[in-house]
């Protein structure tokens, strides 16, 4: 019994030693490519979803507080913001006043959303201050400064340039009209956050808005709340309500909207490509084992003729499939983590929603590696079973 168990290991070791090294290397490389394809596609889609979700948080916070139903503004915002900032789990908060404004630059005139903020609070709560592509961020004390989104400033080669200011640059002056009051602002910076909605906005300070439209003083249309930990939004909301913070609370997941539908699409595509990837891996192993069995029909017939049981022959080819798949997964892991992940960490995909890097889920990676090995074993099992069901004499004579 023990001797029979050793036979498959003896046969496979003999086969591997005598096999053509280039052929063996090619087989293992093909398995590694099939495995890398499975992991790469999944990591890419995970990266896209992760970047999309992070984009929502970076621009709108983990929680957004809007006026209560029937109210247009949140009143006494300095006190409200202070209460929010003192709440456990909150890292920063920024009150925003969103007002429609008409911008005039030279002969160009267009309407854009104007966001009035406390520059320091906004810098702590969102990433707008970190995404300046020209000039600088708003000064906390200046009252005549404005920063424009890239799609507002416009210029040659800019998306939607026809509806922009068509080339406003840092140092230029633009006229902002709110209602019947117009003021001139100096463009001190241009930001680009890779969000069409945000990049079609302009930011001014609360002090500037108070001078032009005093009615908005100490009011906000929304308050952006950044939490210390992602996933604690519901607990933080309960604490805010317990402290009497007025308003309607929305988490970043609820704000995602269109991003959620895009994420669902990516999940579906990922599942489809994963299925195709497993089929490819199965076909590769099946063809390899089938060809090997076909070319060794006489040897298999002789082994059976001298008393080697069919299950030992089957075990030999199952073991061969296992060796190919394990070595392929190992080589694929080295190629993936050492070369591919490292490369895209330095050179991420430049997508409209942001810079996308590969996001590796270790558990998913291990599951896919195990699945490739199992699929390979099953694919090697089928031709080996077929090879042991033929007539022994036909096998020996190659008929």
* Residue-wise pLDDT tens digits, 241-298: 999 999 899 998 887 765 566 666 767 777 787 788 778 777 877 777 777 666 665 6
Q: Round to whole Å and give the CA distance between 241 and 235.
A: 10
The neighbour count for residue 272, using CB atoms within 10 Å, is: 11
Q: What is the dihedral of CA 124, 248, 201, 207, to 10 degrees?
A: -60
CA dihedral in degrees (359, 361, 364, 366; nearest 10)? 110
Q: How many CB atoms neighbour CB 265 within 10 A?
A: 11
Among candidates 84, 94, 88, which has minimal Cα distance to 58? Answer: 94
The residue to which tokens 């429609």 are assigned = 100
Q: Which residues contact 94 (CB under 8 A, 6 or more apart)?
A: 61, 81, 117, 118, 121, 122, 124, 125, 126, 223, 224
> DSSP letter at 336?
I
**3-state helix/strand/coil string of 260-292:** HHHHHHHHHHHHHHHHHHHHHHHHHHHHHHHHH
- 128 pLDDT above the threshold of 60: yes
Average pLDDT, the chain: 82
The pLDDT of residue 87 is 93
Mean pLDDT of 165-169: 90
Pair type for strands 248-251 and 63-66: antiparallel
Per-residue DSSP letter, 338: I
Question: Confidence band (pLDDT; 50, 70, 90) for 299?
Answer: low
E strand or H helix at 216, and its extent?
Answer: none
Q: Position of tokens 């406390």?
A: 118
Q: What percent of the chain stands above pLDDT 70?
A: 82
* Secondary structure of residue 231 in the 3-state scheme: coil
Half-sphere exposure (Cβ direction) of 121: Cα atoms closer than 13 Å: 20
Q: Which residues contact 130 (CB under 8 A, 6 or more apart)?
A: none
User: Would you state the pLDDT for residue 135?
Assistant: 93
How far is Cα 286 from Cα 107, in angstroms, rounded to an integer? 70
Output the pLDDT for position 52.
81
Mean pLDDT confidence for 11-29: 68
Contacts of 325 (CB under 8 A, 6+ apart): 31, 281, 285, 372, 373, 375, 376, 377
In the chain, what percentage of residues exceed pLDDT 90? 37
pLDDT tens column, 364-389: 888 888 888 888 888 777 776 766 66
* CB contact set of 182 (below 8 Å; sequence gap of 6+): 104, 175, 176
Q: Tell me, yes or no, if the pTM score tops 0.85.
A: no
pLDDT at residue 190, as a whole number: 95
Taking only the tens place, the pLDDT of each residue in 302-311 is 655 655 566 6
């Amino acid at each position: 019994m023990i001797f029979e168990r050793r036979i498959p290991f003896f046969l496979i070791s003999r086969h591997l030693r005598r096999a053509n090294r280039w052929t063996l290397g090619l087989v293992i490389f093909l398995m590694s490519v099939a495995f890398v394809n499975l992991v790469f596609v999944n990591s890419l889609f995970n990266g896209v979803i992760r970047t999309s979700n992070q984009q929502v948080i970076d621009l709108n916070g983990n929680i957004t507080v809007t006026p209560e139903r029937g109210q247009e503004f949140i009143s006494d915002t300095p006190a409200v913001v202070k209460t929010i900032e003192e709440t456990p789990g909150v890292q920063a908060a920024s009150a925003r006043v969103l007002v429609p404004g008409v911008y005039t630059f030279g002969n160009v005139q267009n309407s854009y959303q104007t966001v009035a903020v406390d520059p320091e609070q906004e810098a702590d709560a969102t990433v707008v201050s970190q995404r300046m592509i020209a000039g600088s961020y708003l000064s906390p004390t200046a009252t005549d400064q404005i920063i424009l989104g890239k799609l507002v400033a416009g210029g040659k080669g800019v998306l939607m340039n026809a509806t922009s200011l068509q080339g406003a640059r840092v140092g230029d002056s633009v006229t902002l009209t709110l209602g019947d009051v117009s003021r001139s602002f100096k463009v001190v910076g241009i930001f680009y956050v890779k969000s069409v909605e945000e990049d079609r906005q302009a930011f001014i300070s609360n002090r500037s808005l108070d001078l032009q439209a005093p009615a908005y003083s100490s009011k906000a249309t929304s308050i952006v709340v950044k939490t210390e930990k992602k996933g604690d939004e519901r607990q933080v909301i309960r604490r805010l309500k317990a402290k009497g913070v007025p308003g309607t609370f929305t988490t970043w997941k609820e704000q995602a909207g269109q991003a959620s539908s895009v994420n669902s699409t990516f999940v579906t595509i990922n599942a489809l490509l994963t299925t195709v990837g497993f089929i490819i891996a199965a076909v590769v192993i099946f063809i390899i084992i089938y060809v090997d069995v076909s070319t060794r029909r006489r040897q298999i017939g002789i082994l059976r003729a001298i008393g080697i049981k069919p299950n030992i022959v089957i075990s030999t080819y199952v073991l061969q499939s296992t060796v190919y798949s394990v070595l392929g997964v190992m080589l694929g892991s080295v190629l993936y983590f050492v070369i591919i992940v490292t490369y895209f960490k330095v050179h991420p995909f430049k997508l409209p929603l942001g810079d996308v890097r590969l996001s590796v889920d270790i558990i998913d990676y291990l599951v896919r590696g195990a699945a490739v090995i199992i699929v390979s074993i099953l694919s090697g099992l089928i031709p080996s079973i077929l090879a042991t069901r033929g007539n022994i004499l036909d096998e020996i004579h190659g008929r």
